[in-house]
Structure 1
Amino acid sequence: MENQIFELQYAMDTFYFLVCGALVMWMAAGFAMLEAGLVRSKNTTEILTKNVALFAISCTMYLICGYAIMYGGSYFLSGIAGGETLVADALASKAEEGFGGGSVYSDASDFFFQVVFVATAMSIVSGAVAERMKLWAFLAFAVVMTGVIYPMEGAWTWGGASVFGMFTLGDLGFSDFAGSGIVHMAGAAAALAGVLILGSRKGKYGPDGSIKAIPGANLPLATLGTFILWMGWFGFNGGSVLKLADVSNANAVAMVFLNTNAAAAGGLIAALITARALFGKADLTMALNGALAGLVAITAEPSTPSALQATLFGAIGGVLVVFSIVGLDKLKIDDPVGAISVHGTCGLLGLLLVPLTNSGSSFSGQLIGALTIFVWVFVTSVIVWIALKAIIGLRVSEEEEDNGVDLSECGLEAYPEFTK
């Protein structure tokens, strides 16, 4: 009887993991639609190509080496060679971890859930460098980011490995439930490095320091992308509970879903009000980024706050993201979609909010963890971007940028009926 209950728990937790992974995978569509909506029509095909290609590259590189770097072992490498773990052996190994305790699910479901997180981190970079970067330079960076850079900082955090053999972040009181820092801030750090080396879009900043707004081509598409990301986030945070098949964890999953939604709503409302106060108008793009800011902010710890606290945390993120986007623009850091502000600034915010509701973490531990993630990803990304610039170049020519990278990089226009 006990074994039958265990098998049911194993099946349910595996299925839940896979469904949540599929929801996170659907976030790739959200990023693609959001970014396609916020760039100009002449750059739409290229941004869509980047998003679909980076997902495939992320899956492949994490399979080849990323998962092994992050968690150790060679389960999937041996699987490629033809090895197979029998169901009975899997059940036995999981049973040894304690019946009714811990998380029990297929190792393959764990890989699937982890790999879609890698793609999310890489998707953040895509929008920040849009409209002026060479497609193949971006894809080359994706190989290194998803195969080495992200897995290494993932090993120091979720993997529990020591940082260069010196200390473990967990022992210092670092906690990041679903990846405000590990996924989102890491992606933003890589994006910031790329933007600083790449430079701004032509005509974005005037010689007198003026800032020219470059509106996106399709705000309905950007809104759709935001809703897709919002929905996918339930898998992102909910799946990070890692278990469903008992009363305690089922309640935890429900609370995570509730708090995730509350933070997004709080972030959107706060950003909309902040934009109205600053600009005198209800800025849709700020509202969309406000929802995403709230989602990023709650991701570091969606299980311990109350629903009201989650709403307030999201609202803080919504206010912060508006000021961050405006501030980066004043510094002439050109981010067409606001990715660095949403995922970087609010990713850090999320980490710093954790100790307010989770006694197992500390502000010092969160700061050290955030600094470790940012320095590692930013420095290694700078090195890779500079190497790519020297080898193949990062930026398209001025003429190609004027005409749109759809034609120069893909030879195909997304909206040919609207072009000459």
Structure 2
Amino acid sequence: MKKLLRGTGLFLVTSAFMGVSAAHAEVSEETAYILNTLLFLIGGFLVMWMAAGFCMLESGLVRTKNVATICLKNIGLYAIAGIMYYLMGYNLMYMDVAEATGFMGTFAMWGPGETAAAEAIDVSGGYSSASDWFFQMVFVATAASIVSGTLAERIKLFPFFIFVVVLTGVIYPIQGSWEWGAGWLDGKGFSDFAGSTLVHSTGGWAALTGAILLGARKGKYAADGSVRPIPGSSLPLATLGTFILWLGWFGFNGASQLALGSAIDAVAVSQIFANTNMAAAGGVVAAILMTKLLYKKVDLTMALNGALAGLVSITAEPLTPTIGSAIIIGAIGGILVVLAVPLLDKLKIDDVVGAIPVHLVAGIWGTLAVPITNSDVTFGAQITGVVAIGAFVSIASAVVWLVLKYTLGIRMSEEDEDRGGDLAELGLEAYPEFGHGSQKL
């Protein structure tokens, strides 16, 4: 399973750096089993809560005529991700990967390994298998949420859901197996602690290919190449979504330690929490300063994405940096977002919520930054992982998007886009008292 054996060994190496004794706490095997399982469950429901964060962030950054559609997409993709990860994703990511040339596991349903009867539980495994599955499952939903925000306001509902089926059931598990399933990238020394590349960049590549093939929203780019801003429905809602994501990230990174049965593990989780928090802070401050410097005004949406970019940046290695290093890593992520957003506009790639700069660009940066604070990892291994996963996810996603484009069609009609997804796809409105005509372009 994901990074399991990394736990004790790495933290014994880094304990001197953190000023902590390497001695493990004297707890029974059953107590360690309970604590490890509890960490998985707490981390899992925190990451699940990130689904609400993505939903609120995206709802605030789209126009009122598309808010209900975004809400449906987010709750729908979370449910689809869970079902697909049960049907095939988990075993494809973790089952016999090394034996199968290190490229993927087996196509089979995940099956629970324990019952509630105490006499049937083997605590020597270190954690409940159901808690492990739950923790891994919520990660795949995060990757799908990234795609939702980028393609908002013009993609059809059911083609999007079909893409989520393939992404969560096949694309994400295969590339994830290369590292977390002890596949070929793991053998080359690639390291991605909690998924800057395996989760965030994967979602970013899938979103980028979709955005290119889908095209920009009507009216986003003028004939002369100028960019027409399209304000969202609620900046307070987007801000709330960012805070929810920030909170959920403690489960995302902290529980990726995968153990809480010793004093060393407890110290490691604490260090990860601190670094995760401060990387986000660095991203916010850097984005605020950059927008003030470049545009003479502070952009709230850039500050929000700066926080998320800081979080994505630290996700590949949230343990070994000092708090000061974590702030710098997050700050660079925030700067990259501010620079990447106008670059996408120059290329006429319409990313409604800025997910590509946040999750793809900052995800690549965070992955490449790992060797700076972890001497056991090489830049060559990290570059290999970034390129290999980027190529695989982009090609696989493009194939799926093209099949959908030339069969079902992926874009709403111009008339439906003008009416908004809420009326066109759902036949209702998130804010009916406003009237659907008020947000027309």
2:122 is aligned to 91
- Is the CA contact 2:316–2:370 (under 8 Å) kept in the aligned structure 1? yes
243-252 or 68-77, which moves further after superposition? Answer: 68-77
Cα distance in 1 for partners of 2:79, 2:26 equals: 38
CA 1:84–1:206: 2 relative to 1, 3 Å? same
- Is the CA contact 1:296–1:342 (under 8 Å) kept in the aligned structure 2? yes
CA drift at 1:171:
2.7
Give the residue type in structure 2 aligned to 1:46: T
Give the residue type in structure 1 aligned to 2:346: K
Please say if 1:185 is aligned against 2:207. Answer: no
Please say if 1:144 is aligned against 2:166. Answer: yes
CA drift at 1:5:
1.1
Please say if 1:41 is aligned against 2:64. Answer: yes
Cα distance in 2 for partners of 1:372, 1:226 equals: 30
1:164 is aligned to none
Cα distance in 1 for partners of 2:148, 2:376 equals: 34
Question: Which of 277, 287, 291 is equivalent to 1:261?
Answer: 277
CA drift at 1:241:
0.3
CA drift at 1:169:
1.2
Give the residue type in structure 2 aligned to 1:42: K
Superposed, which structure 2 residues align to 1:300-315 within 5 Å? 300-315=316-331
Cα distance in 2 for partners of 1:188, 1:93 equals: 38
**C-alpha deviations, 1:5-35, integer Å up to 9, x for none?**
1111101110111011000000000000000
CA 1:190–1:78: 2 relative to 1, 3 Å? closer
1:97 is aligned to none
SS in 1 for 2:222: coil
Give the residue type in structure 2 aligned to 1:280: K
Cα distance in 1 for partners of 2:66, 2:334 equals: 28
Please say if 1:232 is aligned against 2:248. Answer: yes
CA drift at 1:77:
3.5
Cα distance in 1 for partners of 2:254, 2:128 equals: 17
- Is the CA contact 2:114–2:129 (under 8 Å) kept in the aligned structure 1? no
SS in 2 for 1:212: coil
Please say if 1:69 is aligned against 2:100. Answer: no
- Is the CA contact 2:144–2:164 (under 8 Å) kept in the aligned structure 1? yes
Please say if 1:129 is aligned against 2:151. Answer: yes
Please say if 1:350 is aligned against 2:386. Answer: no
Give the residue type in structure 2 aligned to 1:225: G
- Is the CA contact 2:91–2:110 (under 8 Å) kept in the aligned structure 1? no
CA 1:3–1:351: 2 relative to 1, 3 Å? closer
SS in 1 for 2:311: helix
Give the residue type in structure 2 aligned to 1:266: G
Question: Which of 123, 131, 145 is equivalent to 1:109?
Answer: 131
Cα distance in 1 for partners of 2:201, 2:35 equals: 32
Cα distance in 2 for partners of 1:124, 1:379 equals: 18
CA 1:78–1:376: 2 relative to 1, 3 Å? closer
2:18 is aligned to none
Give the residue type in structure 2 aligned to 1:133: I
Question: Which of 274, 277, 289 is equivalent to 2:290?
Answer: 274
13-22 or 224-233, which moves further after superposition? Answer: 13-22
- Is the CA contact 1:187–1:343 (under 8 Å) kept in the aligned structure 2? yes
Cα distance in 2 for partners of 1:149, 1:85 equals: 33
Identical amino acids, percent of aligned pairs: 56
CA 1:75–1:326: 2 relative to 1, 3 Å? closer
- Is the CA contact 2:29–2:124 (under 8 Å) kept in the aligned structure 1? no
CA 1:31–1:92: 2 relative to 1, 3 Å? closer
SS in 2 for 1:152: helix
2:308 is aligned to 292
CA 1:362–1:216: 2 relative to 1, 3 Å? same
CA 1:131–1:251: 2 relative to 1, 3 Å? same
Give the residue type in structure 2 aligned to 1:314: G
Cα distance in 1 for partners of 2:124, 2:293 equals: 58
CA drift at 1:88:
4.5
User: Which runs of 5 or more residues in structure 2 are unaligned?
Assistant: 1-24, 97-105
CA 1:3–1:302: 2 relative to 1, 3 Å? closer
Cα distance in 2 for partners of 1:191, 1:170 equals: 25
SS in 1 for 2:406: helix
1:407 is aligned to 423
Cα distance in 1 for partners of 2:268, 2:205 equals: 31
- Alignment length (residue pairs): 403
Cα distance in 2 for partners of 1:338, 1:380 equals: 22
- Is the CA contact 1:190–1:377 (under 8 Å) kept in the aligned structure 2? yes
CA drift at 1:307:
0.1
Superposed, which structure 2 residues align to 1:5-44 within 5 Å? 5-44=28-67
SS in 2 for 1:317: helix
CA 1:78–1:30: 2 relative to 1, 3 Å? closer
- Is the CA contact 2:27–2:261 (under 8 Å) kept in the aligned structure 1? no
- Is the CA contact 2:92–2:107 (under 8 Å) kept in the aligned structure 1? no
Give the residue type in structure 1 aligned to 2:147: V
SS in 1 for 2:382: helix
CA 1:316–1:395: 2 relative to 1, 3 Å? same
- Is the CA contact 1:173–1:364 (under 8 Å) kept in the aligned structure 2? no
CA drift at 1:378:
0.6
36-45 or 64-73, which moves further after superposition? Answer: 64-73
CA 1:153–1:85: 2 relative to 1, 3 Å? farther
1:159 is aligned to 181
CA 1:288–1:135: 2 relative to 1, 3 Å? same
CA drift at 1:79:
3.6
Cα distance in 2 for partners of 1:143, 1:87 equals: 36
2:410 is aligned to 394
Question: Which of 245, 267, 270 is equivalent to 1:251?
Answer: 267
Give the residue type in structure 2 aligned to 1:191: A
Cα distance in 2 for partners of 1:394, 1:114 equals: 29
Q: CA RMSD in A?
A: 1.8
CA 1:325–1:78: 2 relative to 1, 3 Å? closer
1:381 is aligned to 397
Question: Which of 322, 327, 332 is equivalent to 2:348?
Answer: 332
SS in 2 for 1:169: helix
Please say if 1:322 is aligned against 2:353. Answer: no
Cα distance in 2 for partners of 1:405, 1:138 equals: 13
* TM-score, normalisation: structure 2: 0.89
